[in-house]
Structure 1
Amino acid sequence: MKKVLKFLGLFLLLIIAIVLVGGLIVPKKYHFEKSIEIAAGKEKVWNNMNSLSSMIKWMPWMKMDPKMTSQITGDDGNVGATYTWKSEELGDGSMKINSLTPMEKTGLDLQFGPSKTISQANILLSGDSTKSKVTWTLDSEMQYPMNFVMGLFMDKFMDKDYGTGLNNLKAMSEAK
């Protein structure tokens, strides 16, 4: 029994050491982006991404917790408008419009839970009157030593969630 406990203790120390050392090696800054082509003109797509009330219709997280409570404050569709949510499953947070360039870009400040860290997301639009391309980006800074753990899995989670959101936006924008 002592050998098993000693082995488990050493194994736990090894895992902790890997996380601590890995956190020193893995970058704290994180960037992710994903794009989609949409068979709809820029104006139609822009109308689905230029306000918080339109974005929450296609962003995937808003549908994950039916008990989530949320509200929009400020002048929706303008810089300063803020969407806040409370969720036992997903945690609490906020999304604030920090910049708008009509028909080109919606910039967002994201804050999750009690963290003071603010991440930046941008939804970029290009194209013409018949087709569009949307690129959704995220820039964040992860805290040591969680940057190592998050760095291992973040791309996989972001790719899935951003893919779902962009496909939702595509379906909404291409609908007649």
Structure 2
Amino acid sequence: MKTLLKIIGGILLLFVVYAVIAILAFSKKNHFEKSVVINAPKDKVWQHVGSLKEYNVWDPFSKADKDIVITYSGAGDKVGDSYHWKGNDKVGEGEQSVAEMVPNEKLVTKLHFIEPFEGDAVANFILTPEGSGTKVTWSIDNELNPMMKIMKPMVDRNMNTMFDQGLGDLKKLAEK
């Protein structure tokens, strides 16, 4: 029994040490990005990136709940257009709005997360020529609270999976 308590105590101590190091070491500013080269011209790729409604066709986050409720304000392809989503525990609730747009080149959106955690982020979609195709770079910038700093490795793994899935689905759509 003493050995089991020592093991449990050691695990708890390691977690506390990790938590303190994570809170102190990880920056409050968080940036995550992934890119993919799509074998299609920029204008064809833009059809799937330059509209919030088209974005939600390949967006992996909204696909995590087949019963998600999305309500649009505007057509989704102009500065100020937005949508509100409400879904299960995986998807949560929030809003995304178009903050800046340069057709066939750049879309900047602002995200406001309501549940499960309150927070704000900025997402960028940048399209650049790459050989005979188009390179799409998808990034997200946000601030991490102390709890999110502790969970950062898990969050980064999840973001990597979701961005890979989303960019893969975008590539399939745009190359049709």
Q: For residue 93 of structure 1, what is the aligned residue in structure 2?
A: 94
For 1:152-163, what aligned pairs fall within 5 Å after superposition? 152-163=153-164
Runs of 4+, deviation exceeding 4 Å? 1-7
1:146 aligned to 136, 145, 148, which one?
A: 148
Q: Secondary structure at the match of 1:57?
A: helix
Q: For residue 65 of structure 1, what is the aligned residue in structure 2?
A: 65
Q: Secondary structure at the match of 2:43?
A: helix
Q: For residue 36 of structure 1, what is the aligned residue in structure 2?
A: 36
- Give the AA of the match of 1:155: D
1:134 aligned to 91, 111, 136, which one?
A: 136
How far 1:128 moved relative to its partner? Answer: 7.6
- Give the AA of the match of 2:154: F
Q: Secondary structure at the match of 1:99?
A: strand
1:122 aligned to 108, 118, 124, which one?
A: 124
Q: For residue 20 of structure 2, what is the aligned residue in structure 1?
A: 20
> What is the root-mean-square deviation of aligned Cα atoms in Å?
2.3
Confirm or deny: 8 A CA contact 2:121 2:140 kept in the other structure: yes
Q: Secondary structure at the match of 1:80?
A: coil
Q: For residue 174 of structure 1, what is the aligned residue in structure 2?
A: 175
Q: For residue 78 of structure 2, what is the aligned residue in structure 1?
A: 78
How far 1:7 moved relative to its partner? Answer: 5.9
Work out the number of aligned pairs and report it.
174
How far 1:26 moved relative to its partner? Answer: 1.5
